[in-house]
Amino acid sequence: MEIQSENACFGGVQGVYTHASKATGTDMTFGLFQPAEAQDGPVPVLWYLSGLTCTHENAMTKAGAQAWAANEGVALIFPDTSPRGEGVADDDAYDLGQGAGFYVNATENPWAPHFNMWDYVTEDLPELVFNEFALDADRQGITGHSMGGHGALTIAMTMPERFRSVSAFSPICNPTASDWGRKQLGAYLGGDNTKWVAHDASLLMKNNGFEGPMLIDTGTKDQFIDLLKPEALANAIASRRQQAIFRMQPGYDHSYFFVSSFMEDHVSFHAEALYA
């Protein structure tokens, strides 16, 4: 692991690090905010998964999360959204390829050699950070925005024993029925849509649910709302009688202005579960 930068931040440290990933076969970069409490021992962790076109840096610099995490004594991890670099497959479209890993393990060429973002986020990066930093693996929450909200919800519902809480900002809720999903899942996983079910939050809600607390925020003026399909997840939550806070925020769009407006709510929500 190489240190790219470390900066004092709200009494803690905001670092950026690069490491060789076994999952992707590439070098990967991630951000990690450690609150002041990490100097005295392991602290709870909140994973933040970013959306299409983003790197580790977008949420790290735009979401305003560090101030609230410092108040709560919670660490933040900001992974990248895809493998990158020479020899890594890409596409001219913004919503496929580099910057658009969709948090799945690709089985189809040309994506399969490197696009293993599910394993990267759930196995590879956790193994590194819990060995190298003062983080408590028994107290983890996960959140994300858009494609990252999709990733957070699907990972949490697949691994409920790992995560005490899950939240999402304007998540892609029903990708098997959306152009933000069918295109990518078909490219990465192939044409057999039975393989897509494990990566659809609305279908996972119907089949699995989540035992812990859940918070979902989406803006009513989100310019991508027809692709996100929040109503599919809301209906699945109601049908399962899942404990969840599901909010449509009047006037908000898909931007980081929306994310930063409700970041305090989300960090506090996770902190309550992580310190319970």
Give CA separation, 110 vs 28, 52, 96, 113, 189, in Å. 19, 19, 12, 7, 11
- Beta strands per DSSP E along the chain: 2-9, 12-20, 27-34, 43-49, 75-78, 135-144, 163-169, 214-219, 245-249
- As beta bridge partners, residue 245 has 215
Distance of alpha carbon 219 from alpha carbon 208, whole angstroms: 26
The answer to whether 22 and 120 have CB atoms below 8 angstroms apart is no
The token duo for 184 is 């990518």
Q: What is the DSSP letter of 40?
A: T
**Residues catalogued as catalytic:** 146, 222, 254
Sequence-distant (6+) residues with CB within 8 A of 238 are none
Sequence-distant (6+) residues with CB within 8 A of 91 are 97, 100
Q: Between helices 65-72 and 256-274, what is the axis angle to 10°?
A: 10
